[in-house]
Structure 1
Amino acid sequence: MLTPRHSTAAVAALCAALLAPVPARAAAPAPTAHRPVVFVHGYNAGPGVWGPLRAHLQAAGYADSELFSFGYDTHRSVNEVLAGRLAAYVDEVRRQTGADRVDVVSHSFGSLVSRWYVKFGGGEGAVDRWVSLAGPNRGTATAWACALWDQACRDMTPGSYVVRNLAAGDETPGAVRYATFWSDCDETVNPDSSVPLDGAANTPVGCLRHNALLDDPATVAGVRAFLRQ
């Protein structure tokens, strides 16, 4: 049986519990103004190559928090290592930004990494637009020069396991929208016709060297326009 003193203490404790602040739930990320863009660099390169394109997109209204550069060891296997790491990176970008889908812009070897992710690694449901700048999408004979000791080079050779599987069936599967930009003077991707894909918006950029597509004004404008569609 509660005494008056005990009863008063119990009521006070109940009131204190009712008036205590409720812990706030973690706020969900606010939707971004644009779909986040994930850049995937090429062989023997790094995230720094995207400086010019990032600057162009920021000038067009993208926030720095909407632009992400995936960095990775370019000497590893596309299908066994790199595509899975890209998948985890994209998942983290989506978590941070609250976006359902991202856009992927890749250069050179990065095109194979990101295509494998889209086609075989679950990327169909996470990628809205995919862009390849000078990607060896059907392989490049240049890669034979380093294929003896480098797995990534082997993956880029014509007829490799990676190239064959990416070409099998639909080259541009799912609801993802695809675009390629290619040069007829590319010293790295041979033949030049390796870049365009069936089902993609394929844009010739004229006579540009392989890395020049990264900061060529017309190419950059084309990428920006494709992402806005």
Structure 2
Amino acid sequence: MTRRNHRRLRRKALSCAVIGSAALLAVGFGPGPAGADPDIAPTEQALADFISAAPGASADGRTPVAFAGTGSSSGSAGSRASVPVSAGPEVAVYLAAFGYGILHPDASPPGANDWSCRPTQQHPRPVVLAHGTWLNAYDSFAYLAPQLVRAGFCVFALNYGQANLLEGGGFGAILPGRNGVGYMEDSAKQLGEFIDRVRAATGVDQVDIVAHSQGGPVADQYLKFEGGAGKVARMVTFGSTHHGTTLLGMATLGRAINNLGVDILGFNELFVGHANIEQAIGSPFYAKLNQAGDTVPGVEYTVVGSRHDEVTNPYELTFLTAGPDATVHNITLQDGCAQDMSDHLTMMYSPRAASIALRALDPDAHPDLVCTFNPWFIGGGGGL
């Protein structure tokens, strides 16, 4: 490939990154200032209304509208997972990581997936990273993973929940490296298979999990229903949708309509993806997931939420209640550090969040928490 063509491809990919960020904004899964008034509200209902109101008809004279029905209207079954193999660079700015992830969708977080790594007496358990919706292992953990590796941990990461547009992955899945869109039950199975591979390669019985956003309920599903009990000692989550999200309060309305028999959410799986539908608060997925309590015996949970989180909203939905033989540490990122402005995506590029993860995984070696400014939307590892 000539240098000129490479530059052209790079510009095109970065343009896609900008479009992708705009798409996240449009459906409420990206940063946006309070009070913003987009043309289409970030709700399933508003999206369907927009489609139904579109002028014109098809060649046979029919006009498409949001319809009533039962079950999923997508007909999709299953998703896939992959293991990133080529390490990307360490970066401290979320937007830079997002752009790199578009250009290199199979990149691994720096230092992760070194299959020759062996746990030590000080760090006896590997750390498995689980990304969120429309993200990948690299752009979720390009900042945190190398810090864990330098601290002496064996770190592993996968890309799960891969589904294309025709499989119901949603428009977000058109962009390279946009994963976590398949059914969360399938993603939990993929996570379990990956953890078993890590356990076999490193010769350990248990791992620790660090999860962002959807990675939290996917890990919960694995622990409760996919054989994960006893295989995980500690779980650290950031902005995870453990109890779903209101998406600014409107997903609740969409779910209520769906439960009345109007398949408005199923109709829009084509647009937002299966996993996003399942993450609406009150969904059947969460009814089953949490019916016996939030936690699994024997696991120590550290759950981090941000007051500026516009996805897990209200952010308190991320917090867990400890059940029998489980420990839960619920932490608000801004408590004691108001200058950390991290939102849903940029909390993974927050020095304070990284210090919380290190303390949760190895409290003796990392007892102190960092407090620095971290900008909203951009994420800068403590600076601009």
For the aligned pair, the TM-score class normalised by the smaller chain equals: 0.7 to 0.9
Instruction: Kindly report the root-mean-square deviation, in angstroms, between the aligned alpha carbons of the 2 structures.
Output: 1.9
Q: Percent identity?
A: 28
Instruction: Name the structure 1 match of 2:182.
Output: 76
Match of 1:6 in 2: none
Alignment of 1:61-140 (within 5 A): 61-62=152-153, 66-72=154-160, 73=162, 74-79=180-185, 81-140=186-245
Who is 1:45 aligned against?
135
* TM-score (normalizing by structure 1): 0.81
Q: CA deviation at 1:58?
A: 2.1
- Report the alpha carbon displacement of residue 56 of structure 1 after superposing the two structures with TM: 1.2
Once residues 86 and 59 of structure 1 are traced to their aligned partners in structure 2, the CA distance between those partners, rounded to angstroms, is 24
Structure 1 residue 137: Cα displacement = 1.1
Q: Which protein has the larger Cα radius of gyration, Structure 1 or Structure 2?
A: 1
List per-residue Cα deviations over 1:19-47 (Å, max 9, x = no partner): xxxxxxxxxx9951121000000000001
Structure 2 alignment gaps of length 5 or more: 1-115, 163-179, 255-263, 323-327, 335-340, 364-384
- Asked if 1:36 is matched to 2:114, the reply is no
Aligned to 2:177: none
Residue among 265, 280, 284 paired with 1:157: 280
Report Cα offsets for 1:52-101 as digits up to 9, x if no partner: 11111122223xxx11012112111112x111111111000000000110
4+ long deviations beyond 3 Å: 143-147
The correspondence of residues 205-216 of structure 1 with structure 2, limited to 5 A, is 205-206=333-334, 207-216=341-350
Q: Which amino acid aligns with 2:158?
A: F
What residue identity is the alignment partner of 1:167? N
Match of 2:330 among 202, 217, 223: 202
**Code of the aligned partner of 2:156:** F
* SS in structure 2 at match of 1:125: coil
Alignment of 1:180-195 (within 5 A): 180-195=303-318
> 1:227 & 1:100 partners in 2: Cα distance?
16
What CA distance in whole angstroms lies between the structure 2 residues aligned with 1:59 and 1:98?
A: 21
Contact 1:40 1:104 (C-alpha < 8 Å) held by counterparts: yes
What code does the residue aligned with 1:37 have?
V
Choose which of 42, 45, 55 in structure 1 pairs with 2:146.
55
Deviates more, 1:95-104 or 1:208-217: 208-217
One-letter amino acid of the counterpart of residue 118, structure 1: L
CA distance in structure 2 between the partners assigned to 1:58 and 1:92 by the alignment: 19
Alignment partners' CA distance in 2, 1:121 and 1:174:
15
Which SS does the other structure have where 2:277 is aligned?
A: helix
- Decide which moves more: 39-48 or 159-168: 159-168
Q: Distance in 2 between matches of 1:47 and 1:115?
A: 18
Q: Is the 8 A contact 1:181 1:196 kept in 2?
A: yes
Of the three residues 283, 291, 303, the one matched with 1:168 is 291
- Structure 1: unaligned runs, 5 residues or longer: 1-28
Task: Describe the SS at the equivalent of 2:193.
Answer: helix
Q: In 1, Cα distance between the equivalents of 2:191 and 2:279?
A: 18
Question: Which protein has the bigger helix share?
Answer: 1
Counterpart of 2:331, as a letter, is T
